[in-house]
Structure 1
Amino acid sequence: MFYRFLFPSKPDGAAASTILLIVRIVFGVLLMNHGIEKWANYQELSAVFPDPLGIGSPLSLGLAIFGEMACSMAFIIGFLYRLAMLPMIFTMGVAFFVVHGSDPFAVKELAFVYLVVFVLMYIAGPGKFAVDHWLSKTFAPKKA
């Protein structure tokens, strides 16, 4: 048992999928809290929210809320997983490189942590315990 824990023969097994599920839940909920805070304070923030893309503060805020809330929900349940992660990765990349680009690392550290986790999770995939896994099994073409 201990040997299989140290040297798993199937990285796509239940243990790895459980770890991916836990990471999805933890980081999805954490990011969603940032989106909920922005959404709750939309009126106050829409006038002062950074506009790094030149599309206006209210729209930039709306896109950040979308990336942090709607995409976090899809990330947590593993629905359209990699598609949902693109706005999350983009939001954290803009926050780290553009919005807080010249700030000390301590100020932009949280955006960096999210960015690294989301890029790694994008590469790793959602695992077996995801809606996408169920959908792929349900709607996959049947082999003759």
Structure 2
Amino acid sequence: MLYKFLFPSKPDGAAASTILLIVRIVFGVLLMNHGIEKWANYQELSTAFPDPLGIGSPLSLGLAIFGEMACSMAFIIGFLYRLAMIPMIFTMGVAFFVIHGNDPFAVKELAFIYLVVFMLMYIVGPGKFAVDHWLGKALTPKKA
């Protein structure tokens, strides 16, 4: 049993998919909390929120909330997984490289951690325990 744990022959098996599910839940909920905080304080934040894209503070805040809340929910359940991750990766990239670009690393470390985890999760995929996996199976034509 220990051998199978240390040297899995099926990296896409149930154990790996369980770990991916746990990572999706943990990091999705953590990022969603940031979005909920921004949403709860929208009125106060919308006037002073950074506008790195030049589209206005309220719209920049709205896009950050979308990336941190709606996309986190899709990330957690694995629905349109890679599509949902694009705004999450973009938001963390802007936070790390633009908003906190000149700050000490300790200030921008959290954005960097999210960015790395989300980029790795984008590459690896959601695993078997995701809505996309079940949709893919349902939409795949059956061989006669």
Secondary structure in 2 matching 1:51: coil
**1:21 matched residue in structure 2:** 21
Structure 1 residue 143 displacement after superposition: 2.1
- Structure 1 segments (4+ residues) deviating >4 Å: none
Q: Find the aligned partners of 1:14 and 1:88 in 2 and give their Cα distance.
A: 26
Q: Measure the CA separation in 2 of the matches of 1:120 and 1:61.
A: 25
Q: Secondary structure at the match of 1:9?
A: coil
Matched residues, percent identical?
90
Matched residues in 1 for 2:141 and 2:46: separation? 47
Question: Per-residue deviation at 1:141?
Answer: 1.6
For 1:141 and 1:50, how far apart are their aligned partners in 2? 47
> How many residues are paired up?
144
Tell me which residue corresponds to 1:7: 7
**Could you tell me how far 1:41 is from its partner in structure 2?**
0.1
2:142 matched to 1:142? yes
Task: Tell me the alpha carbon deviations over residues 35-76 of structure 1, each in whole angstroms, 9 at most, x when there is no partner.
Answer: 000000000000000000000000000000000000000000
Deviation, structure 1 residue 26: 0.1
Q: Alpha-carbon deviations, 1:2-43, whole Å to 9, x = none?
A: 000000000000000000000000000000000000000000
Query: Separation in 2 of the partners of 1:99 and 1:140?
Result: 43
- Report the Cα offset of residue 142 of structure 1: 1.9
Aligned pairs (5 A) from 1:38-49? 38-49=38-49
For each residue in 1:94-136, what CA deviation from the matched residue of structure 2 results, as whole angstroms up to 9, or x when unmatched?
A: 0000000000000000000000000000001000000000000
- Return the alpha-carbon distance in structure 2 between the equivalents of residues 55 and 103 of structure 1: 23
Counterpart CA distance in 1 for 2:54 and 2:109 is: 24
> Does structure 1 residue 86 correspond to structure 2 residue 98?
no
Q: TM-score with structure 1 length normalisation?
A: 0.99
- Partner of 1:68, secondary structure, is helix
Provide the rounded CA distance (Å) in 2 between the counterparts of 1:118 and 1:40. Answer: 24
